[in-house]
Amino acid sequence: MSPIRRENATKNGEKPGCKTDDLYLIHGYLRRTLTRIPELIDAADPKDKARVELIARHIEEVAHQLIHHHLHEDAVMWERLIQRAPEATEDVLRMKEHHQHIHKKAEDVIDAVSEWKMNPSFKESLMHKVQDIREEALAHLDDEEKTIKPLAAKHLTQSEWNHMAEMAMEEEKDSPRGLFIIGYLYHCAPTEEVRQEFWKALPLPAKILYHLTTKKKFEKEWKQLYS
């Protein structure tokens, strides 16, 4: 790639090159929850309406988070990476294709959750869809960390990379479940370093509000789901 092309590709003279380890945060949450959701469905007593509702909301939330995380990546990464690292086009197009498949499967899971809530005895369809997306999404996360994360670290600026987290925060800031997502991300962080980086980057009002209003509720919810 020519230096001129690279210069044109970034704004405000900010040089490409960024820290990308916060990808492990959202991936940690998706890995942890997607891996264990099938056992929740399997063990749910169809007569326990409150538990079915709790698990259903959790699955819908994970599916929505997965969709939104991918939409942020679609908006920020693919076009820029193809432009700045054309030699990696094949990898980028593979990721785009994964995202399209997984998006459709996540919507199918959300539909299947609605049906399950109406008929909790019939869990097979939801189980099948959840196992299916789990397999594809987990393989995708591994692939993306291996091929795209180093590419983005080299070719995107920090502002461009950070824009994904900014979009996520903007979407969550007025959502009634936004502060719970902080709890899930913090709890599921794969390493202490990733967890502390996440906490350090959170705006102070969000930290205070989380502690005052949500931390205890999140911990209770996690225990109810997974203990």
Which residues of this protein are in contact with Fe ion, per CB under 5 A? 73, 144
Closest to Fe ion by CB, 22 vs 73, is 73
Considering the complex, what minimum distance in angstroms separates the CB of residue 5 from Fe ion?
Answer: 25
Token pair belonging to 17: 């090159």
Considering the complex, what minimum distance in angstroms separates the CB of residue 161 from Fe ion?
Answer: 14
CB atoms within 10 A of CB 54: 16
- Cβ-closest position to Fe ion: 144
Closest to Fe ion by CB, 101 vs 207, is 101
Closest to Fe ion by CB, 131 vs 147, is 147
Spell 96-123 as b/e; 16+ CB within 10 A means b: eebbeebbebbebbbebbeebbeebeeb
Lookup result for tokens 């469905």: 41
Burial of 136: CB neighbours in 10 Å, binned 0-12, 13-18, 19+: middle
Considering the complex, what minimum distance in angstroms separates the CB of residue 167 from Fe ion?
Answer: 14
Considering the complex, what minimum distance in angstroms separates the CB of residue 122 from Fe ion?
Answer: 31
Closest to Fe ion by CB, 117 vs 149, is 149
CB atoms within 10 A of CB 150: 12
Considering the complex, what minimum distance in angstroms separates the CB of residue 35 from Fe ion?
Answer: 17
Closest to Fe ion by CB, 144 vs 160, is 144
Of the candidates 43, 103, 29, the residue with the CA atom closest to the CA atom of residue 224 = 43
